[in-house]
A = this chain, B = another copy of it.
């Protein structure tokens, strides 16, 4: 599966009195990295709202492991990939890497939603469009899928 890499500078304001990243900020980084992953696959979120039956992919389950702490001024890289496509749910894995190795790992379970036709102010789980899933295949996977 397609991998996206994003470099992040750890900012002063992301760190707590212990001098390390306040952990909810990692999850905000990961949320931004999920957007970058879709954008790298040709699907910026603002275009999906406009072009698809799409009303967001809210988080339903989240898991994170914190192995090494990061400090302000650190430059880290987040590698993001979708490791599972279900019918309407999918899993995004994020690995935040320091030169020494894996520092934080996040696993998001999100659900593809569209507007509820009965009440457009409400969201409803939807099958993830096949054209979306296809964007995340590597060339090899696409070739294999075509045979």
Report A's interface with B, CB cutoff 8 A: 9, 11-13, 15-20, 22-25, 27-28, 31-32, 35, 44-46, 55-56, 58-67, 69, 71-73
Please tell me if the beta carbons of B24 and A12 are within 8 angstroms of each other in the complex. no
Please tell me if the beta carbons of A72 and B24 are within 8 angstroms of each other in the complex. no
With a cutoff of 8 Å between Cβ atoms, the chain B residues found around residue A15 in the complex are 16-17
Residue picked from A11, A16, A32, A59, most chain B C-beta under 10 Å: A16
With a cutoff of 8 Å between Cβ atoms, the chain B residues found around residue A17 in the complex are 12, 15-19, 72
Known A-B contacts A28-B13, A46-B73; the reply to A63 vs B66 at CB < 8 A is no
Interface residues of A, dominant DSSP = mixed
**A50 CB to closest chain B CB, in angstroms?**
11
With a cutoff of 8 Å between Cβ atoms, the chain B residues found around residue A32 in the complex are 9, 11-13
Assembly stoichiometry (copies): 4
Please tell me if the beta carbons of B11 and A31 are within 8 angstroms of each other in the complex. yes
With a cutoff of 8 Å between Cβ atoms, the chain B residues found around residue A19 in the complex are 17
**A113 CB to closest chain B CB, in angstroms?**
10
List the 6 closest A-B pairs by CB distance, nearest first: A24-B24, A24-B27, A46-B73, A17-B19, A62-B64, A24-B28
With a cutoff of 8 Å between Cβ atoms, the chain B residues found around residue A31 in the complex are 11-13, 22-24
**A75 CB to closest chain B CB, in angstroms?**
11
Contact of A18 among B22, B35, B56, B73 (CB under 8 A): B56
With a cutoff of 8 Å between Cβ atoms, the chain B residues found around residue A65 in the complex are 60-62
